[in-house]
Amino acid sequence: MSANSSSRYSTVAIIFHWLIAILVIVNWRIAETAEHLQMPEKAEVFGNHKALGMLILVLSLGRLAWRLGHKPPPMPEQASGWEKTLAKAVHVIFYILLIGLPIGGWLASSLTGRPIDFFGIFTIPMLPVGENPEAGKAIFDAHATGGSIMIYLIILHVLGALKHSFIDKIPGLSRMWFGGSR
């Protein structure tokens, strides 16, 4: 059976999925922690959040490129129409957020005159937008809201996978886990 006709995702897709998922959750926790700190420690922790966000952006673009070139497995036939529609919508929103949130953070950082230090390895330059602290703050606020939406969608996604696997007895978790037969 070819990778395209398999009921499981490819190994590359699985690696992208879990790596990005872990990094998103870690990055959310970093942001939550930073919110409760005082300057200059707050800025330092947010610096790590921004660097990790840029890594998530690169990995998400790689994942999207992989997905465009490698058709994912079909949804299980046992899934209802509304579940298939909801799953597709959630995946589209995930891609929008995985790409849009880091770009929004980069834009807001640029508008507030702050380049992004990538873990001391190199500096990601500001976007050529000029400084506008008010616009930067508004985008940071939208970024935070988008981050909250991402967390709610992750919860929905996990609950759906658990429901399919343990209640409906439809392979859900095994489609996106390592090992097993294709």
In sequence order, the 6+-apart residues with CB closer than 8 A to the CB of 138 are none
Which of these, 179, 152, 163, 142, lies nearest to 76 by C-alpha position?
163
| Range of lowest pLDDT (2-11, 12-21, 106-115, 127-136) | 2-11
67, 3 Cβ separation under 8 angstroms: no
Please compute the mean of the pLDDT values over residues 121-149 and round it to a whole number.
Answer: 97
- pTM beyond 0.85: yes
Residues 6+ apart with CB under 8 A from 140: 105, 108, 112
110: its two tokens: 């640029």
pLDDT digits (tens, 9 = 90+) for 31-63: 999 999 999 999 999 999 999 999 999 999 999
Read off φ and ψ for residue 32, nearest 5 degrees.
-60, -40
In angstroms, the CA 19 to CA 15 distance is 6
DSSP state of 20: H
Q: Is the pLDDT of residue 2 over 50?
A: no
Both tokens of 125, joined, read 């330059």
Tokens (6 digits) for 73? 């497995």
Residue 80 has pLDDT above 80, yes or no: yes
Give the per-residue pLDDT at 180. 60
Given this model, what pLDDT does residue 168 score?
Answer: 86
**CATH assignment of 11-176?**
1.20.950
Backbone angles phi, psi at 123, to 5 degrees: -105, 130
Strand spans (E) along the chain: 116-118, 122-124
Residue 5 pLDDT > 70, yes or no? no
pLDDT over 90 for what percent of the chain? Answer: 76
Q: What is the pLDDT of residues 87-111, one digit of tens each?
A: 999 999 999 999 999 999 999 999 9
Domain ranges for the chain, please list them: 11-176
Q: What pLDDT is attached to residue 177?
A: 87
Residue ranges of alpha helices (H) inside 36-163 are 41-69, 81-111, 133-162
Taking the C-alpha atoms of residue 170 and residue 84, their distance in angstroms, rounded to an integer, is 13
Average pLDDT score over residue span 117-126: 97
